[in-house]
Amino acid sequence: MRKEHTMLNLHNAEFIRSAVRVADFPQDGLPQIVFAGKSNVGKSSVINKLLGRRNFARVSAQPGKTVHINYFLIDKQAYLVDLPGYGYARVSQAERQRWGVLMEEYFALGLLTLGIQIVDIRHKPTKDDVTMAEWFHAARRPWIVIANKLDKIKKSQIEGCLAEIRQTLLLPEEVPVIPFSAEKGDGKEVVLEMIAEHIGKDALK
Ligand code: GDP
């Protein structure tokens, strides 16, 4: 029997809170779709593009400034969990440590249901990107990689860049790498389809 799907309304998204400690993490059983990426990779831009909002997730003016996890609720169906950006050169050791502790606390609770890791399609993933991939791998949940800033490379470079990302992050075969442009919108439908499928809804077109 065909499962009855209804539409997911992405425009019905609301900011819930900035979490800084375990007590702040919602634990109500709703799916938690987790976005991670290094500072300036375009994480806020990707989230805004997916939700069709201009300024929803703040486009960071001061990268790496704050260590908190932003929670958004999408159509009362799932949380969009925006992890703090990493790898910003000019953060203090103390702040770097706070990032690590917060990650450990979040991942230890097993709340993540879908991981979305954002990398820059132009560059070989950094050591921090590899560490983040290890976090997602260890979570043993479905996980996808968005290769953002597609508009910045030539068509002829795409395959090579995707292969380098896959190899460097040591991605299991089932983890898709999706070329994406938060600027132009490439990849948006594919990712929305995956999110909707994860939640058990039809994608909003
Ligand atoms: P965050 O720190 O990861 O949240 O990154 P932001 O969303 O603040 O984006 C960092 C910078 O990259 C901004 O200047 C964005 O306009 C730019 N940017 C983000 N995505 C893209 C993209 O797909 N293509 C291009 N050309 N620029 C992008």
Count of domains in the chain?
A: 1
> CATH number for the domain including 150?
3.40.50.300
Residue 162 lies in a domain: yes
Q: At 67, is the pLDDT very low, low, confident or very high (cuts 50, 70, 90)?
A: confident
Q: Which of 183, 179, 164, 176 is closest to 125 using CA atoms?
A: 164
Mean pLDDT of 115-137: 97
Q: Which amino acid is at 70?
A: N
User: Residue of the nearest CA to atom 26 in ligand 1?
Assistant: 149
Residue 43 lies in a domain: yes
Atom of ligand 1 nearest to the CA of 38: 3
Q: Which atom of ligand 1 is nearest to the CA of 182?
A: 23
Percentage of the chain with pLDDT > 70? 92
Q: Does the beta carbon of 60 sit less than 6 angstroms from any atom of ligand 1?
A: yes
Q: Is residue 92 part of a domain?
A: yes
CA of 121 to the centre of ligand 1 (A): 12
Q: What is the pLDDT of residue 89?
A: 73
The answer as to whether 6 is a domain residue is: no
Structural domain contains residue 173: yes
Residue 149 CB less than 6 A away from ligand 1: yes
Among 93-97, 98-102, 104-108, name the most confident range: 104-108
Band the pLDDT of 61: cuts 50, 70, 90.
very low
Q: How far is the CA of 55 from the centre of ligand 1 (A)?
A: 12
Q: What distance in Å separates the CA atoms of residue 136 and residue 112, rounded to the nearest whole number?
A: 9
Calculate the CA dihedral of residues 23, 77, 196, 179 and round it to 10 degrees: -40
Question: To which H or E segment does residue 59 belong?
Answer: none
Report residue 202 CA to chain centroid gap. 20
Distance between CA 53 and CA 10 in Å, rounded? 10
Q: Which two tokens stand for residue 26?
A: 């919602």
Residues 6+ apart with CB under 8 A from 137: 143, 170, 172
Residue type, 51: L
Mean pLDDT of the chain, nearest integer: 90
In a domain, residue 2? The reply is no
pLDDT of residue 66: 64
How far apart CA 45 and CA 59 sit, in angstroms, is: 6
Is 4 within a domain? no
Check pLDDT > 50 for residue 58.
yes
64 band by pLDDT with thresholds 50, 70 and 90:
very low
**Domain interval for residue 130:** 13-198
61 within some domain: yes
The number of the ligand 1 atom at minimal distance from the alpha carbon of 118 is: 3
User: Is 63 close to ligand 1, i.e. is its CB under 6 Å away?
Assistant: yes
